[in-house]
Structure 1
Amino acid sequence: MASFELIDWVVALTPVLLMAVLFAWLDVFKLMSPWEMIGCLLLGCVAGLVAWPISGRMLDTLPIGYSFYSRIVAPFIEEALKGCALAVLILSNRIGYKLDAVISGFAIGAGFSVIENIFYLARFPELTTSVWLVRGLGTAVMHGTTTAVLAVAAHGLGQRSLRQQGGRMFNPVWLLPGYLLASLIHLAFNQFPNHPMEDMIVTLIAAPVLLIGVMRFGESETHKWLIEDRETHRRWLEEWQSGAFPSDDSGQRIAALSAQLKPDQAALVRDYCIVKAELVLAAEEELLDRDRKLEEDQATRVRAAFARLEEIKNRIGRIGYAALSRRLPFSRNDEWELSELKELLDRD
C-alpha cells in the first residue's frame, strides 16, 4: 500500500517540476540559476498556500472538484494570486527578457500546483493513481503554462519601459491582458470534468509546443536586443572617454549637471558613467557569449570595476548621486544585466 501511495505522490508532483527544469535547460542564454528557479518555485508555493483558504471548498467536490465555484470562479482567483507572485519578480527587476519570463512564470505555476496537489494528496489518499496522473500531467502543467502566458504578456507590455532610461518600474496594467488570457485558458481547461484524460493529453501536447515556440522567439529577440544595446553603450562609452557627452537627451542632461559642478566633481560624474558603461558592456558581452562563465582574469577586472564604481559613488556623495541617478541613461534592463554579471562573480 505504501508503494502505491509513493507512486501517487511521484506522478502528482514531479512531472511539472521536471518540465520546469527542462525549460531552463533549453534556454541557450542560461538566464535562470538554480537558486533563482527555487525562488520562483517558492513564490508559487506561497501563492498556493494563500489560495487554499480561499479555494479550499473545491475539496468537497473531488475527485476532480468540478463544482460551479471551481469551474467558473477559482480560475480567476488562482491566476490573480499567481500574478501577484509574478509582480514580485517584476518589482524586484528579476525578469530581463522573454526567455526568463517564460521560465519564471512556468516555475511559479509549478510551485502553485505542487502545493495544491500536496493538499489533495493528504486529504484524499484513497484516490487512484490515474487521478493523480491527470493532476500531475494535466492540471499542474496547465498551472505552469497559464502563468508563463501571463508573464510573457506582461513582459511584452512593459518591455519598452524596462529598456528605456527613466521608464516606469512597474505598472499593474501590464499584468491585466495576460491575467485575462491566463484565466480564460484555465477556465476552458475546467469545463470538461467528464474528460480528464483528454484534457491531460491536449495540455501535454499544446503546452510544450506553445512555450518552446515562445522561447525560440525570445532567443531571437534577446540576441537582437543585446546587439543593439551593446552598440549603443559602446558609442556612449567612446563619447564619454573622448571628453564629450552622448548626444541623446540623457547625455545632455548629464552635461548640464556637470556644468553646475566643480571640476573635480564633474570628473567623478564622468568617471562613474565610464565605469558603469564598461560594466554594462561586459554584462552584454557575457550574455552574448552564452557560456555563463568568467575567466579568472576577467572576473578580477569585473570585481575591480564594481569596487571602483562603488568608490566613485561614495565620493560623489548621497545628494550628488541622487541628482546624477535621475539623469543616467541606463535602463532597468541594464540594471538587470548588471545583476546577472554580479551573480556570475558570486558563482566563481
Structure 2
Amino acid sequence: MTIADIIDWSLALMPVLLMAALFAWLDVFKLMSVREMAGLLLLGGATALAAWPVSGAVLDQLPMGFSFYSRMVAPWTEEMLKLMAVILLFAGNRIGFKLDAVISGFAIGAGFSVVENIFYLTRYPELAAPVWMVRGLGTAIMHGTTAAIMAAVAHELGERSARRAGAAFRLNPLWFVPGYLTASLIHLAFNYFPDRPMLVMMVTLVLAPFCLLALLRFGESEAQNWLAEECTIHEMMLAAWKSGRFPDDTSGRRIAALARRVSGQEAERIRAYCMLKTELVLAAERELQDGDRHIAPEQRQRFRDQFAQLEAMRQSMSRTGFAALRPLLPFSRNDEWELSELRELIGRD
C-alpha cells in the first residue's frame, strides 16, 4: 500500500470513527465500553453488507452519485436498514438514556459508512484524495447523524412507556416512523446536490456536530433529572419494604393482596425478593449518577452476591407464584436496563 493509498483510506474512514469515539468520551455516564462500541460498529457494518446486493450494482464513481437510485432510492433503503439495527437495540433493551440512543445510533451509522466506503475504496482506487475527503467528512458523518436522529426520536416517543411499563412493555413500531422519515429526508437532501460535493460536505460538518451535541446535552440533562426522580421513588419503596410494610402505591397494594392469598412462607419470599431487587435498582441508579463507572472490589463482590441471591429467591418461589408476581412488580423497562448496566459494570475488569 502506497502513501497515497494510506491517505485515501484515512480520509475515508477515520473522521467518522474519531467522532464516534469523541461522543462516547463526552458521555458523562460513561455508558459505552470499547467492546460495546465495537459491537455497534459491526452491527452498522452488517447493515451496509445487507445493502450491497442492491446498491453495489449501481455504485457511482463520484462522492454523491448522479443516478436516480443514488439520489432518490438509496436514502430510503439505507435508512431503513440502519433503522432495523436501531430497532434491534430497542427490542433488546440496550438503550436507556437519550444520550445512549444518540451515541448508539451514531456508532451504527459510522459502521455503515466505514463498510460502504471500503466498498468504494476497493472498487475505485484510482479516485483522487478530495473524493475520499468528501466521503469521509461528508457522507460518513451524514450516515452517523441520521442514525443518531432515528434513535433519539424513537427514544423520545417510547420513553414514557419504557419508564412506566415493566413486564407489560410492548415495542410500538410507530415510535420509529417519524425518525425514519426525518433521517430519510435529510439523506435525500444530502444526495440532491451531487455537483456540489464540497459545499454539502461543509454544511454537514457545521450542522451535524451542532445537532448531535445539542441532543447529547439535552439527553444529559434529561437523564440527570430522571435519575434523581427515580432514586427518590425507589428510596421510598425500599424504606417501606424494610419497615415491614408494602409500598403505598398501585403495585404495592396488588403485591400485598397477592401475599395474603399465598402461604406465609411464600409471602415472605415475595417480600424478600421485592426488597432486594429494589435495593439493587437503587444501587444501579446511584452508580449511574456517580459517573466514574468504577466499583471497589469488595463492593463489586457484594453486588455479585446480591444478584446471585436474587436469582436464588426467584428459583425458590413456585412457578405459578412468580408468574402471578411478575406483572405486579413496580420495576419498569428502564429499571431492568439499569440492572443490566450494573451487571455489566461488576463484570468488567
The answer, yes or no, to whether TM exceeds 0.5 is yes
Q: Distance in 2 between matches of 1:183 and 1:143?
A: 10
Q: Secondary structure at the match of 2:66?
A: coil
Indicate the residue corresponding to 1:68 in structure 2: 68
Residue identity opposite 2:313 in structure 1: I
Q: Is the 8 A contact 1:137 1:204 kept in 2?
A: yes
Indicate the residue corresponding to 2:97 in structure 1: 97
1:240-255 → structure 2 map (5 Å cutoff): 240-255=241-256
Q: Is the 8 A contact 2:255 2:329 kept in 1?
A: yes
1:217 paired with 2:218, answer: yes
The structural deviation recorded for 1:60 is: 4.5
Q: Is the 8 A contact 1:63 1:127 kept in 2?
A: no
- RMSD between aligned residues: 1.2
Equivalenced residues, count? 348
Q: Distance in 2 between matches of 1:63 and 1:111?
A: 18
Residue identity opposite 2:236 in structure 1: R
Indicate the residue corresponding to 2:296 in structure 1: 295
Residue identity opposite 2:345 in structure 1: L
The structural deviation recorded for 1:63 is: 5.4
Q: Which shows bigger deviation, 60-69 or 213-222?
A: 60-69
Q: Distance in 1 between matches of 2:262 and 2:26?
A: 50
The structural deviation recorded for 1:345 is: 0.6
The structural deviation recorded for 1:61 is: 5.4
Residue identity opposite 1:159 in structure 2: E
- CA deviations 1:102-121 (Å, max 9, x no partner) are 00000000000011101111
Indicate the residue corresponding to 1:207 in structure 2: 208
- CA deviations 1:290-332 (Å, max 9, x no partner) are 1101112221221121111011011013332222111111011
1:145 paired with 2:123, answer: no
Q: Please report the TM-score for the alignment, with normalisation by the length of structure 1.
A: 0.97
Indicate the residue corresponding to 2:185 in structure 1: 184
Q: Distance in 2 between matches of 1:272 and 1:149?
A: 39
Residue identity opposite 2:160 in structure 1: R
Residue identity opposite 2:294 in structure 1: K
Structure 2: 5+ residue stretches without partners: none
Q: Secondary structure at the match of 1:202?
A: helix
Q: Distance in 1 between matches of 2:23 and 2:63?
A: 30
Q: Secondary structure at the match of 2:256?
A: helix
Q: 1:201 to 1:213 in 2, by over 3 A?
A: same
1:31-110 → structure 2 map (5 Å cutoff): 31-60=31-60, 62=62, 64-110=64-110
Q: Is the 8 A contact 2:61 2:124 kept in 1?
A: no
Q: Distance in 2 between matches of 1:181 and 1:63?
A: 22
Q: Is the 8 A contact 1:61 1:67 kept in 2?
A: no
Q: Is the 8 A contact 2:64 2:191 kept in 1?
A: no
Q: Distance in 2 between matches of 1:104 and 1:169?
A: 21
Q: Is the 8 A contact 1:109 1:148 kept in 2?
A: yes
The structural deviation recorded for 1:58 is: 3.1
1:264 paired with 2:268, answer: no
- CA deviations 1:211-255 (Å, max 9, x no partner) are 011101111100000000001011111111112211221111111
Indicate the residue corresponding to 1:279 in structure 2: 280
Q: Which shows bigger deviation, 315-324 or 175-184?
A: 315-324
Indicate the residue corresponding to 2:158 in structure 1: 158
Q: Distance in 1 between matches of 2:244 and 2:12?
A: 62
Residue identity opposite 2:265 in structure 1: D
Q: Distance in 2 between matches of 1:228 and 1:64?
A: 47
Q: Is the 8 A contact 1:58 1:65 kept in 2?
A: no
Q: Secondary structure at the match of 1:64?
A: coil
Residue identity opposite 1:87 in structure 2: I
Q: Secondary structure at the match of 1:326?
A: helix
Q: Secondary structure at the match of 2:328?
A: coil
Residue identity opposite 1:276 in structure 2: K
Q: Is the 8 A contact 1:102 1:215 kept in 2?
A: yes
Q: Which shows bigger deviation, 96-105 or 295-304?
A: 295-304
